[in-house]
C-alpha cells in the first residue's frame, strides 16, 4: 500500500469511527436507549409509536416542577409569571419550528388525536353540509378517519378516499376525479404510520386549494422525519403529537391559520377559553386561548419546546442523512430472501425508515405478526404488531395485521441487524413443529 493510500484508509477509518462516536454520544442523551434486556442492550424499533426522550426534555420539565411550578395566565406573583412566560415561550418555539407565521394559530392539545377531533368538531360541524365532501386517503390513521366519519354523519356530508398505487404511494392520478368544487376539505396524513412513504404534500395542497378546499395535514409521523414549513406549504391545519417528536406524552399541537380558527366555535368549554360569562351565555377569549379550555399541560408544553431545541440542535440535514442510511440498510435486510414482504416503496428516496412487513417461516407458512412480535420482544427487539390503527389500509392491502419496525435518527444500523437476526431465528423457530411432524 502506498503511503497516500494508507493515509487515506486511516482517515476513512477515523471518519467512520467519529460518525459512530457521534451516534454513541447522541444515544447517551436518551436514557431509555441504555436499557438492557437479559444482559443485552434493548433494541428499540418502535419510534413511530413513541419516540424516546432526551435528557434535555426531562431537565426542562423538572425545572418547571422544581422552580417555576404554578398555574399559567392566572396568578399575580413571580412564580406564576415565570410559569406563564415558560409556557408561552414554548408556543413561540413551536411556531418557529413549524414555520407558522402567527403564534395565535398555535393551539396546545393533548395530542394529534385531540387536535384532529378539534378540527372535525369545531370546523367540520360548522362548515360541512349536505352534498359537501371531505377527501381523505385510504392510508389514514383511525384518528384522521373516525372523527370525519362522525362529522360527515352529523352534517350529511360525504367522505371520499384517494387510493394507493401498487407500490403503496398515494395515487395522484385520481385527484382530478376526486377533488371537485364539492370538496370542502382535504385531510391527509403527511406520512403514513404503516407505509413510511413520503407524501407529495405541496402538490396535494395546491391541487386542493385550486378547487377552494381547505387542507388539514396529520403530521404525527411526518414531524420527526422532515422539516415542516407551514407558511410555505399553505395548509390550513396541521396536527402533531409531542411524544412522537422526542417530547413528553400528553401534549400535542394544532397549528392553524388564525383566520380558520376565528371562524370556528370552541371545541371544549370551561375556564380560560371565555372572555365574559353570564348565566345565559358566554363570549370567547382571543386566539389561541379560545381553544385551550382549563389548565393546560404546562410542563408538557415546556418539555415539547425543549424537544424542538434538541431536534434543531441536530438539524434536519443530519437527520435526513442518518435516516437515508437506515432506510437503505433496512431495505437491504428486509427482503424476500429472508421471507419478508415489505410494504411501501422500495426506493429509499421515497420513504422513511418505518418498515411494516409480513414474514413467512422457513417452510413458507405465514408467521402471525403478534407471534413474531412476541418472540422478537422476548429477545429484546421492540417492534409493534397489529392493525397499526389503520384497519382500512390493511384491508386494502389484503392483510389483517403487520409487524412494524420503526426507526428514528438515533437508531443504529446494528439495531436493524439485530432485527434481521431475530427474524431469521423466528423463521426457524416457527417452522420447527412442522419439520418435526
Q: Which residues bind ligand PMP (CB under 6 A)?
A: 111-113, 141, 143-144, 189, 193, 218, 220-221, 241, 389
Closer Cβ to ligand PMP, 101 or 163, answer by number: 163
Please, are residues 172 and 197 in contact by the beta-carbon 8 Å criterion?
Answer: no
Q: How far is the CB of 252 from ligand PMP (least distance, A)?
A: 6
Closer Cβ to ligand PMP, 50 or 71, answer by number: 50
Closer Cβ to ligand PMP, 55 or 110, answer by number: 110
**Is 389 considered catalytic here?**
yes
Sign of the alpha-carbon torsion through 89, 95, 99, 103: negative
Closer Cβ to ligand PMP, 373 or 418, answer by number: 373
Q: How far is the CB of 240 from ligand PMP (least distance, A)?
A: 8
Rounded to 5°, the CA angle 20-23-26 comes to: 155
Close Cβ partners of 10 (under 8 Å, ≥ 6 residues apart): none
Rounded distance, CA 404 to CA 422, Å?
Answer: 14
Q: How far is the CB of 193 from ligand PMP (least distance, A)?
A: 3
Q: How far is the CB of 40 from ligand PMP (least distance, A)?
A: 28
The packing angle between helices 413-436 and 316-333, to 10°, is 20
Closer Cβ to ligand PMP, 285 or 406, answer by number: 406
Rounded distance, CA 284 to CA 243, Å?
Answer: 30
User: Which grid coordinates are listed for 65?
Assistant: 416542577
Kindly list the distances between the CA atom of residue 179 and the CA atoms of 188, 345, 396, in Å, as whole numbers in the listed order: 13, 25, 21
Rounded distance, CA 50 to CA 384, Å?
Answer: 11
Rounded distance, CA 358 to CA 385, Å?
Answer: 10
Within 13 Å and on the Cβ side, how many CA atoms surround 217? Answer: 28
Kindly list the distances between the CA atom of residue 258 and the CA atoms of 90, 236, 291, 302, in Å, as whole numbers in the listed order: 18, 9, 12, 22
Rounded distance, CA 68 to CA 434, Å?
Answer: 63
Phi, psi of 276 (to 5 degrees): -135, 150
The DSSP code for 365 is: P
3-state SS class at 333: helix
Rounded distance, CA 158 to CA 152, Å?
Answer: 6
Kindly list the distances between the CA atom of residue 400 and the CA atoms of 46, 272, 294, 434, in Å, as whole numbers in the listed order: 19, 44, 40, 24
Please, are residues 88 and 298 in contact by the beta-carbon 8 Å criterion?
Answer: no
Identify the active-site residue in 26, 269, 274, 389.
389
Closer Cβ to ligand PMP, 106 or 118, answer by number: 118
CB atoms within 10 A of CB 430: 21
Q: How far is the CB of 342 from ligand PMP (least distance, A)?
A: 18
Q: How far is the CB of 294 from ligand PMP (least distance, A)?
A: 18
Closer Cβ to ligand PMP, 106 or 352, answer by number: 352
Closer Cβ to ligand PMP, 183 or 189, answer by number: 189
Q: Write down the H helix ranges in 52-134.
A: 55-67, 78-98, 112-118, 125-127
**Radius of gyration, CA atoms only, the chain:** 24
What residues act catalytically?
389
Amino acid at each position: 500500500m502506498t503511503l497516500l493510500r494508507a493515509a487515506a484508509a486511516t482517515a476513512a477509518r477515523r471518519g467512520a469511527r467519529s460518525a459512530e462516536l457521534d451516534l454513541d454520544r447522541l444515544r447517551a442523551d436518551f436514557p431509555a436507549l441504555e436499557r438492557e434486556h437479559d444482559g443485552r442492550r434493548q433494541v428499540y424499533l418502535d419510534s413511530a409509536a413513541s419516540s424516546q426522550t432526551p435528557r434535555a426534555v426531562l431537565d426542562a420539565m423538572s425545572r418547571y416542577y422544581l422552580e417555576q411550578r404554578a398555574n399559567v395566565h392566572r396568578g399575580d406573583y413571580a412564580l406564576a409569571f415565570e410559569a406563564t412566560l415558560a409556557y408561552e415561550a414554548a408556543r413561540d418555539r413551536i411556531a418557529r419550528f413549524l414555520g407558522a407565521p402567527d403564534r395565535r394559530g398555535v393551539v396546545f392539545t393533548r395530542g394529534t388525536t385531540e387536535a384532529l377531533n378539534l378540527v372535525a368538531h369545531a370546523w367540520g360541524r360548522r362548515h360541512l353540509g349536505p352534498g359537501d365532501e371531505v377527501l381523505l386517503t385510504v392510508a389514514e390513521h383511525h384518528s384522521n378517519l373516525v372523527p370525519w366519519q362522525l362529522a360527515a354523519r352529523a352534517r350529511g356530508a360525504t367522505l371520499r378516499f384517494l387510493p394507493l398505487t401498487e407500490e403503496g404511494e398515494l395515487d395522484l392520478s385520481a385527484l382530478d376525479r376526486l377533488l371537485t368544487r364539492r370538496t370542502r376539505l382535504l385531510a391527509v396524513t403527511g406520512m403514513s404510520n404503516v407505509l413510511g412513504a413520503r407524501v407529495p404534500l405541496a402538490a396535494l395542497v395546491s391541487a386542493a386549494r385550486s378547487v377552494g378546499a381547505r387542507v388539514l395535514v396529520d403530521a404525527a409521523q411526518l414531524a420527526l422525519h422532515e422539516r415542516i414549513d407551514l407558511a410555505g406549504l399553505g395548509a390550513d391545519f396541521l396536527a402533531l403529537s409531542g411524544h412522537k417528536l422526542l417530547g413528553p406524552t400528553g401534549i400535542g399541537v394544532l397549528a392553524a391559520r388564525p383566520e380558520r380558527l376565528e371562524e370556528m366555535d370552541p371545541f371544549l368549554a370551561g375556564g380560560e377559553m371565555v372572555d365574559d360569562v353570564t348565566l345565559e351565555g358566554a363570549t370567547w377569549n382571543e386566539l389561541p386561548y379560545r381553544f385551550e379550555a382549563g389548565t393546560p399541560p404546562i410542563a408538557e408544553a415546556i418539555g415539547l419546546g425543549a424537544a424542538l431545541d434538541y431536534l434543531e440542535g441536530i438539524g434536519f440535514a443530519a437527520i435526513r442523512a442518518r435516516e437515508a442510511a437506515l432506510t437503505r440498510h433496512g431495505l437491504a435486510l428486509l427482503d424476500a430472501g429472508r421471507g419478508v414482504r415489505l410494504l411501501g416503496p422500495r426506493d429509499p428516496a421515497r420513504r422513511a425508515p418505518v418498515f411494516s412487513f409480513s414474514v413467512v417461516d422457513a417452510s413458507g407458512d405465514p408467521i402471525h405478526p403478534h407471534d413474531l412480535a412476541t418472540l422478537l420482544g422476548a429477545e429484546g427487539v421492540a417492534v409493534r404488531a397489529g392493525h397499526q390503527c389503520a384497519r382500512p389500509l390493511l384491508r386494502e392491502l389484503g392483510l389483517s395485521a403487520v409487524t412494524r419496525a420503526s426507526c428514528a435518527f438515533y437508531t443504529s444500523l446494528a439495531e436493524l441487524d439485530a432485527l434481521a437476526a431475530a427474524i431469521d431465528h423466528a423463521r426457524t423457530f416457527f417452522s420447527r413443529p412442522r419439520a418435526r411432524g
